[in-house]
Structure 1
Amino acid sequence: MQKPKPTSTDQLDTIPDTSSPAYAKANPVMRAFDSFASLVTRWAGSPFAFGFAVTSIVVWVATGPIFHYSDGWQLVINTGTTIITFLMVFLIQQSQNKDSVALHLKLNELLATHRTASNQLIGIEDASEEELRRLAAAYLRLASEGSTRGGAARSPACEVEVEGASDKDAR
């Protein structure tokens, strides 16, 4: 008996299934991590967190003479900042991924609803670096022409072949 193929909430394959909103809602660990990451990144960007960091450094510097600026004294700040930085990278990246997906969805909505926009740009974030460079060059050429084309003008996205664009349009 064949297993049914799992359905993905991401038809463009731009979001790994484990990061999809449906997975995050269904998985309590992902839901907890998402909440925790959002809370920590909001707190880390607050004036209170900055004040706490400055206070920690001032206290550490002030204790320098007490510990005779020893290697252990230096190790405390080095180890603490390294651990905090290491953990914050993952928390901030999770929040950045979520924000990036939301931004792409908003832009996709604008592209999909604007009648003269090229739908080929939906999902363009999956294009290769070379394809993005060719598309950017086409837009630069359009801007340097300085001509005002009518509403029926073709988008530079139509002129640049993006690998897999026809596959995405078919979905």
Structure 2
Amino acid sequence: MTAALFEESTTGLLKVDIHRVGAVVVCRMTGDLYLDTLSQAEHALEAAAADLPPLLCVDMHQAQMCDATGLGLLLRLSVRVPLAVVDPSHQVTRVLQLSEVSLALRVFPTVDDAIEALHRMDQGNGPASSNASIHSAALDAGARSSAPSARRRRH
């Protein structure tokens, strides 16, 4: 069940909707996450993480772009609060793969999948013991093997 929206932050380039699914906080990003929108994204995500939820899901399905500053923000937050990137767009998926940030962040196809993994971790029933160990269908074996970094390792 989704609780009412408690924050919405919008500029012409980025919209961030924040809501709760139980105790989990979900931030839906629409638009571009890069240097010009970093301050807005940081403000919204910091507010969402302030109460240290058991999981902060960043839904990036509607994110058209994410640069190194956006990746840095996600990585910094993942140190403070359990963070999952959810349903990244094709463009964001490629950035996660090429930068190898997908090895450090948990990525899931849906919020429900992220919540299920959290429950498995809480119960000790699953390999989901660190940010680096969970990968979604969005970063499945086929997608990972096509990344340049995967090809480099074989040489």
Give yes or no for TM over 0.5.
no
- TM-score, normalization by structure 1: 0.26
**Comparing both structures, which one devotes a greater share of its residues to strand?**
2
TM-score (norm 2): 0.28
Which protein is richer in helix relative to its size? 1
Greater Rg over alpha carbons, structure: 1
